[in-house]
Amino acid sequence: MAEPIRLKTPLTDNDVEGLNMGDRVLINGIIYTGRDAAHKRLYDLLNEGKELPFDIRGQIIYYVGPTPAKPGQVFGSAGPTTSYRMDAYAPALIEKGLKGMIGKGMRSDAVKEAMKKGKAIYFAATGGAGALLAKKVKKAEVVAYEDLGPEAIRRLEVEDLPVIVINDVRGNDLYIEGEKRYRKG
Amino acid sequence: MREIDVKLITEKVRSLCIEANTDLGEDVLEAFDRAIQQEESPLGVEILKELKENARIAREEKVAICQDTGFAVVFVEWGQDVHLIGGGLKEAVDEGVRRGYREGYLRKSICHPFTRANTGDNTPAILHTEIVPGDRVKITVAPKGGGSENMSRVVMLTPSDGVEGMKRYVVQRVKESGSNPCPPTIVGVGIGGTFEMAALLAKKSLLRPLGTKNPDSDLNRLEMEILEEINRLGIGPQGLGGRTTSLAVHILMMPCHIASFPLAVNIQCHAQRHKEVVI
């Protein structure tokens, strides 16, 4: 297997265009967390024509709701949640400049189309590997919606967070291609 | 008559919540090892190794295996010769969940269905009780994650669908779930009973240790056949393509109404967590 590609956030169009379905990537820098409830709030803000609580341009949102950090831990267990629940909100965020999403599970056609148009990438992290992924988080702070508890938006500083490119900007989908390659009969 | 104080129930439930969420069973780890031997996809092998490493970290550092520490599903088999003193069983179990999730740094994932407001302490628990002969109490805590639960279904097949219809439905359910429920999964199948009993059978079937045979030889053969079909789908670890889509299929069955053929498929992610204690 090819060596993983190191990427530094925020992402540029160039970064994104250089990625291909199946690439293993190590993400470094700042990323933001957000899942169901936070996405609904971001979406409502956009519909009301209001500013988002952070500058989303070039950023990556990680679909995760961590466990509380134990004393001595930077961050609690933090694997991805299933992404399709964010499908209704993702295209609007991509239109505002979001460049990457980390989650697990297949995206809708509308999201895939928005990714092609807005040049954004969908990465998967290993679902259920929460203890391992937590170790890649070096700093964490809540930036919005503290009342949502595990669903609050957090700014994370990550070092070599391991992900895989599922959807690239050319419309390829590793879930579809991977299954095809190994299907029997 | 033997007496048990509710405080003991609370204490046991508390410990089981933490243990189940941080210490993945040996049966699951052995199933990962078998899968690593059989997996054809290099990326799939990498994922399976990552899951083993994740379980090691969680066990050693006593942190949650997965951030989704689940709905606390609690099975209690209550010996009919035991008298509970000092309070109610439901309250005692909920208190155990409350403490376990707080003191174990586990995620609170339970909310109001409409407003989505979090209850803040992971209660209420889902409590299944059964009165059994004897003077023992067995408590099993099986935290259940939302991602795989969302892919589960109950269906009322018609009797003419037969065994083949049942197999088709289960395989199709796994196919449609794709990468969502965190494969490799364990597929719990409940057959017969009524609408709600089929679902409970499916859930209970997941408590059987991986790598053990179904005591009913016909069902055991069916489990093997369905597993083989599932693992031909190509979904693989995390849905990235490969042989290991499911680690096992478990079936529990009981008689049903002459008009009915209830079937439930309860999908379980690879973080198959459950711990039990006998008091």
pLDDT tens digits along B24-83: 999 999 999 999 999 999 999 999 999 999 999 999 999 999 999 999 999 999 999 999
Looking at residue B1, what is its pLDDT?
Answer: 87
User: Is pLDDT of B184 > 90?
Assistant: yes
Closest chain A residue to B103, measured at CA:
A70
Render pLDDT for A68-125 as a digit per residue (tens, 0 to 9).
999 989 999 999 999 999 999 999 999 999 999 999 999 999 999 999 999 999 999 9
Supply the ipTM of this predicted assembly. Answer: 0.93
Looking at residue B140, what is its pLDDT?
Answer: 98
Closest chain B residue to A165, measured at CA:
B240
Mean pLDDT, rounded, for B175-192: 97
CATH code of the domain in which A43 resides? 3.20.130.10
Determine contact: B245 vs chain A, CB below 8 A.
no
Q: Could you give the percent of chain B with pLDDT greater than 70?
A: 100
- Neighbouring CB atoms inside 10 A of A11's CB total 22
Length of chain B: 279
State whether residue B262 is helix, strand or coil. Answer: strand
Number of domains in chain A: 1
Q: Residue B95: what residue type?
A: E
Whole-angstrom CA distances from A51 to A43, A114, B160 are 11, 21, 58
Whole-angstrom CA distances from B108 to A77, A153, B37, B43 are 13, 16, 36, 32
- Select from A67, A164, A182 the Cβ nearest to the Cβ of B107: A67
Looking at residue A185, what is its pLDDT?
Answer: 73
User: Is pLDDT of A36 > 90?
Assistant: yes
Determine contact: A97 vs chain B, CB below 8 A.
no
Residues of chain A with Cβ-Cβ distance to B58 below 8 Å are: 77, 130-131
Residues of chain B with Cβ-Cβ distance to A130 below 8 Å are: 54, 58, 64-68
Alpha-helical (H) ranges within A96-145 are 109-118, 130-134
Domain of residue A121: give its range. 5-182
Closest chain A residue to B52, measured at CA:
A129
Domain locations along chain B: 2-21+65-144, 147-272
Q: Which residues of A, range 145-184, sit inside 8 Å of B by Cβ?
A: 148-151, 164, 174-175, 177-184
Determine contact: B38 vs chain A, CB below 8 A.
no
